[in-house]
Amino acid sequence: MSDVSYTADEPESQPAEETPDVAAETPAETPDVVEGTVDETDSQEQPVDDDDVELEVDGDKYRVPKKLESAFLRNRDYTEKTQAIAEERKVIQAEREATMQRARDQETFMEDISTVRALEANLKEYGQIDWNTLARNDPQRALELQIQHQQLREAHSNKIAELDNKVRTHVATQEQQEAAETAKTIEVLTKPDPKIGWPGYSPAHMTKLAEVAEKELGVTKADLKRIRSPQAIKILNLSLLGLQSLKTAQTARAKPVVKAQPAQQVRGIGAAVNRDPNKLPIDEWVKQERIRMAKKIQQP
């Protein structure tokens, strides 16, 4: 028995025709790239985050997250305070060196002054000699003493000139140092500091500060002139500001507060007063009723 197939006979398969690979033969098209062009999405300005804040550092402005603002401000305050302390140390060091130099100069002056006084004491002894009598009795001795006397006079004159030159040099050096210190102090004070009420250096403000300090605290202008520390001057200014605020507050408390009272209506003499007859006392009602009846009778 032959096998039965329930499917139609399929034709013999033919080999598939080969088609050219279009993708292989056609090169892929790539967009032309022109140098210097920027994608529109990149060229668009990025939106500014509302949480960002703008800070200025060394003259340049930057946008930083707001939560970092306090850290930046603390760092800036720390830098400013460090610089102020460094400047203060320089001023203190300069003052210390100047003080030590003045002490050395004073010591040298004292030694020279002692030498001058000793020479003057010796010269005084020569002034008590009777030169005429000594020349008659002992010419040789008189000649020796005259030579010594002349040498002492020359030594005294030379020492006086040397001391005078040292004093002049000391004064000139001190003036130069004071001028340099004053210039440094002014340079530091020129920048205003609103946090402590310092408006910045100006001759007018320093004059006013000296006047108020002398009036309120007894600080003379000479004492103020000797202050070389910028921080000390700012502290003095801050103290005077506090004193003025205290006086203003005390004056405000001392003045009594007068409340405005409503103006009272003053009635003229004989002015009629409208009052409810039902609320009058009996005697007052009788009086008013008699007046009313009398006026009524007098009417025609």
DSSP letters, 105-145, are HHHHHHHHHHHHHHHHHHHHHHHT--HHHHHHH-HHHHHHH
Residue found by looking up tokens 């320093």 in the block = 206
**Would you state the pLDDT for residue 198?**
92
Residues 6+ apart with CB under 8 A from 160: 116
> Phi/psi class of residue 284: alpha, beta or left (left: φ > 0; alpha: ψ in -120 to 50)?
alpha
Average pLDDT over residues 200-219: 88
Q: Are residues 205 and 235 part of one domain?
A: yes
Q: Which segment of 102-111, 176-185, 245-254, 273-282 scores lowest on mean pLDDT?
A: 273-282
Q: Does residue 287 fall inside a structural domain? A: no
The tally of domains found in the chain comes to 2
Q: Are residues 209 and 98 part of one domain?
A: no
Q: Are residues 210 and 142 part of one domain?
A: no
Q: Are residues 200 and 134 part of one domain?
A: no
Q: Are residues 149 and 232 part of one domain?
A: no
Phi and psi, residue 21, nearest 5°: -75, 100
Q: Are residues 163 and 196 part of one domain?
A: no
Q: Does residue 170 fall inside a structural domain? A: yes
Q: Are residues 136 and 214 part of one domain?
A: no
Q: Are residues 178 and 56 part of one domain?
A: yes
Average pLDDT over residues 186-215: 89
pLDDT tens string 217-264 = 888 888 887 887 888 898 889 888 888 888 888 888 776 655 656 655
Q: Is the pLDDT of residue 296 over 90?
A: no
**Would you state the pLDDT for residue 130?**
92
Q: What angle do CA 233, 238, 242 make, to 5 degrees?
A: 150
Q: Are residues 197 and 123 part of one domain?
A: no
Report the DSSP beta bridge partners of residue 3.
none
pLDDT tens string 13-61 = 444 444 444 444 444 444 444 444 444 444 445 555 567 777 776 667 7
CA distance 244 to 239: 9
Domain boundary among 206, 229, 248: 248
Q: Are residues 225 and 101 part of one domain?
A: no
What's the Cα-to-Cα distance from 244 to each of 29, 155, 218, 238, rounded to whole Å? 83, 62, 15, 10
pTM for the whole structure:
0.46
Q: Are residues 91 and 76 part of one domain?
A: yes
Query: What is the residue range of 230's domain?
Result: 190-248
- Label residue 146 by pLDDT band (50, 70, 90): very high
Is the CB of residue 92 less than 8 Å from the CB of residue 125?
no
| Mean pLDDT, the chain, integer | 75
Q: Are residues 118 and 101 part of one domain?
A: yes
Q: Does residue 228 fall inside a structural domain? A: yes
